[in-house]
Amino acid sequence: MKVLLLVTEAVPYVKVGGLGDVAGALPQALRRAGAEVRVIMPRYGLLDPQALGLRQVRGNFPVTMDWRREECQLWEDPRTGMWFLENQYFFGSRHLVYGNGDEVEQFVLFCRAALEACQLEGWVPDVVHGHDWPAAAAIRLHWAAPGRAGLVFTVHNLAHQGAQRPDGWPLLGVYDGRGAMNLMQQALFCADLITTVSPTYAREIQTPELGFGLDGQLRERADRLVGILNGLDLESWDPSTDQALPARYGPGELSGKRICKQALQREMGLPVEEVPLIGVVSRLDFQKGIDLLVGGLEEILETTSAQVVVLGSGEQGLEDALRRASAANPTRIAAWLGFSAPLSRRIYAGADLFLMPSLFEPCGLSQMIAMRYGTLPVARATGGLVDTIVDCARPEGFGYLFGPYQREAMLEALGRALVDYTDSESWDAARNRAMLADFSWDRAARSYLEVYSRALAYAGHPAAS
């Protein structure tokens, strides 16, 4: 089975969010499961072909965009087989992945060029798998093609939809479209199968609260909607081999984790004390529930002995609030406003608890990483957080969940965790259970192969027989 994955970011090349992790790990798992996979993404200006060792596969080839033609080129990384699409204006001159102001036009070109490149190279996919709204146009454009592939579309975050003013329709070759064009909506209509990144999120986006105006359409296609929990790159995220850590450790041998905690306290300017250490690694915005964290800091300081370490950047008001809290309480709160990949690893390893009070969380990788590093999550019961965390109220638990999006509910769950922290024997047992939880991509790959087979059948593709 030949599978084409269209993505706009992928580890190790570019990572903005969770899609980058998925696009880096899922293809490898699919190949291990027997699929022939080709991944294609834009060659942004921040990706240096010479530094990456890319080779040009095809020079200029024309791609029709409404009334004009754009010249594109195709590059390949011979080490990984990744394809990169080049267009000097829309990709090569851009050092931002998103937020360029003409993203709809930019990514429609990407989708058109990706489909054209496959034809020119004689590599005809059985399945076209688009990820999030920037790849949605490929699903819509290929939908009416004769002998088309099976079409699979994955929703990573329904809040971002690629909406466009009414005059955007000609980009898709539609000249009688009415109303505003919405690329996400088009893909949801045309895909043979729709997937999301967790089973709970698949249910949540069918509700008005988290459907962002598309819940009715998703309910109509509920029989074609499948939630597949993302996996975790277990080789990359492994505390027994992680060179960013001051000490390595693993299940059953946690002495290295205690060394990591003390080193993190020193690095962040906190007293090296045997008190609970709460870690946060997050984009600082309201989707991630950082307003609940900010609103709860005073009570955490007054009623517990815990220290808090925060790494992230985002909304200016939230950054300012964390900056003030850290300055006023330098022995209890440390905030690093920005991002450092090595520091994030040291927080995952050094913290006792990992706080994720998200308003919504389609899947979430941070809680999986934290558990892999023996750090128990305190998280809101939404999306993939529900599907990955077993509450310690159960004997087999390794985390703490709360329901209502309220500061009081978050603090109650945190309070339960801090009580359990005082029992070192049961605490270490929960840590070991967390570290042994199965978040492998191989499990997810098997589910995707089943989805691909269903999509082929719906499309009437010969490979389905």
261-264: long-range contacts, CB 8 A cutoff, minimum separation 24: 261/350, 261/351, 261/352, 262/350, 263/346, 263/350, 264/309, 264/346, 264/347, 264/349, 264/350, 264/351
Enter the tokens of residue 4: 């084409």
253: which DSSP letter?
B
Q: Quick one: 255-438 is in which CATH superfamily?
A: Glycogen Phosphorylase B; (3.40.50.2000)
**Bridge partner list, 37:** 3
CA distance 444 to 384: 13
Residue with tokens 């009437």: 460
Question: Residue ranges of the domains in the chain?
Answer: 2-231+442-464, 255-438
- One digit per residue, pLDDT tens: the chain, 465 residues? 999 999 999 999 998 888 999 999 999 999 999 999 999 999 999 999 999 999 999 999 999 988 889 999 999 999 999 999 999 999 999 888 998 888 999 999 999 999 999 999 999 999 999 999 999 999 999 998 888 999 999 999 999 998 877 778 888 888 767 788 899 999 999 999 999 999 999 999 999 999 999 999 999 999 999 999 999 999 999 999 999 999 999 998 999 999 999 999 999 999 999 999 999 999 999 999 999 999 999 999 999 999 999 999 999 999 999 999 999 999 999 999 998 999 999 999 999 999 999 999 999 999 999 999 999 999 999 999 999 999 999 999 999 999 999 999 999 999 999 999 999 999 999 999 999 999 999 999 999 999 999 999 999 877 775
pLDDT for 147 equals: 87
2-231+442-464 and 255-438, same CATH topology: yes
C-alpha–C-alpha distance, residues 280 and 414, integer Å: 13
Residue of 2, 450, 461 lying closest to 228 (CA atoms): 450
User: Tokens 């090296």 appear where?
Assistant: 272
Q: What is each CA distance from 200 to 12, 203, 388, in whole angstroms?
A: 28, 5, 10
pLDDT, position 174:
81
Q: Which class for 177: exposed (0-12), middle (13-18), buried (19 or more C-beta within 10 A)?
A: middle
348 alpha-carbon distance from chain centroid: 17
- Could you please state the CATH topology (level 3) that the domain comprising 2-231+442-464 is classified under: Rossmann fold (3.40.50)
pLDDT at residue 465 in the model: 58
